[in-house]
Structure 1
Amino acid sequence: MGCSKDGTTGEKPPKSKIKIGKESYETSLGTYCWKGTCVDAIGSVERLKGKVPVKVKPNEEIRFVIDYEPKPNDFHLTQTNEGKEKEVTVRDNRFVVPTEEGIYYYDYGVWWMDEKEEHLSHGDASYAFVLEVK
């Protein structure tokens, strides 16, 4: 998949936040390709070590907010708990946290894919955050 310099603005991908109820929390930008520049970052678990997890209730709904137009049109969410990775379904920029208590690391990968050329990306970014279900 290629990454073009067209269709995106700014030197880096836009910031992404998670919204829980009325509260918003920043995520950590990781690996990305933007305006022809690609940057690699360490994985989310290592990158977020020492960060205080955001406390959430079991089955709480989390919403992703990216204040940028156009919105990304392809995305994947991976959850890591006790070394095990799992793909999580995202619908309408929302997902539900697990019912089991614990510390959960998330990687939210988003792509700005070309509307006409199937394998052409105008940019992509990975955002990470950590939640504690209590």
Structure 2
Amino acid sequence: MKKFMLMIMASLLLVGCQDSPKEKETEVEPYVDNRTVYESNSKPRGIRLDLGENNIDTTPSFVGLLGHCWNEDINQCFSELNYSPEEKIKTYQKSQLPPNTSIKIIFDYDPAKEKTLPYPNTLELYLVKDDQYAPVPITDNSFIIPSENGTYTYVVKSIYDDEFKGIAFHGFQIMVRE
């Protein structure tokens, strides 16, 4: 009887230790976000400033996103900021540049978002002082900073009016110093 029980226990042990049939391994497909800019409410392209060789202290100005809107009807987007950007922007890191320096506004390039994130059609630049917006002339995305020493606050308004429609505002400060 002991041999019989020993044989049953051994067979149960062998049966229990067999490999279970393997499930087919499934490959996980990489996630591709096929939503439009409107559906995902993606942030617009970032902006950086090309200061050339003129930067006095090699500190690049921080350019921050102040607000954006995507809407198939661009008229539904806000056309101006509903708050004073000066308080927020004054905390940003700023570059020190000599008077009358030319600065170029450059939109970030991201290969992963190149097909889904548009470039703006129109660029407007404003010098902001005491909540007053003064237009600044731009040629080929470049502008000239003032000739007088001081700290200057700028707002860039990017208008997207092509396949995707929207408006974005970015802000930065420049310190002019001889």
Kindly provide the amino acid, as one letter, of the partner of residue 11 in structure 1: S
TM-superposed deviation, 1:25: 4.1
Cα offsets for 1:15-55 (capped at 9, x unmatched):
1111101575441001111367x797743211123334211
Contact 2:149–2:176, Cα closer than 8 Å, also in 1: yes
Quick check: 2:84–2:131 contact (8 Å CA) kept in 1?
Answer: no
Unaligned runs of 5+ in 2: 1-35
Alignment of 1:39-58 (within 5 A): 42-58=83-99
CA displacement, residues 82-128 of structure 1 (integer Å, 9 cap, x when unaligned): 6653210011010000101111000000011127xxxxx61221000
Q: If you compute each CA radius of gyration, which structure gives the higher value, 1 or 2?
A: 2
Structure 2 CA distance for aligned equivalents of residues 129 and 6 of structure 1: 25
Aligned residue pairs, count: 124
TM-score, normalization by structure 1: 0.75
Tell me the CA shift for residue 76 of structure 1: 1.0
Name the one with the larger helix percent. Answer: 2
Percent identity over the alignment is 27
Which residue pairs with 2:160 in the alignment? 112
Q: Which residue of 2 aligns with 1:33?
A: 69
Q: TM-score, normalised by structure 2?
A: 0.58
What's the C-alpha RMSD, in Å, of the aligned pairs?
Answer: 3.0
Whose relative contact order is higher, 1 or 2, with alpha carbons under 8 Å and at least 6 apart?
A: 1
Asked whether 1:77 is paired with 2:160, we answer no
Q: Distance in 2 between matches of 1:41 and 1:14?
A: 21
Extract unaligned runs of 5+ from structure 1: 116-120
- Tell me the residue number matched to 2:170: 127
Following superposition, the deviation at residue 75 of structure 1 comes to 1.6
**More off after superposition, 86-95 vs 13-22:** 13-22
Structure 1 counterpart of 2:27: none
Q: What is the rounded CA distance, in whole Å, between the counterparts of 2:142 and 2:97 in structure 1?
A: 14
CA distance in 1, matches of 2:39, 2:102: 29
Partner SS for 2:44: coil
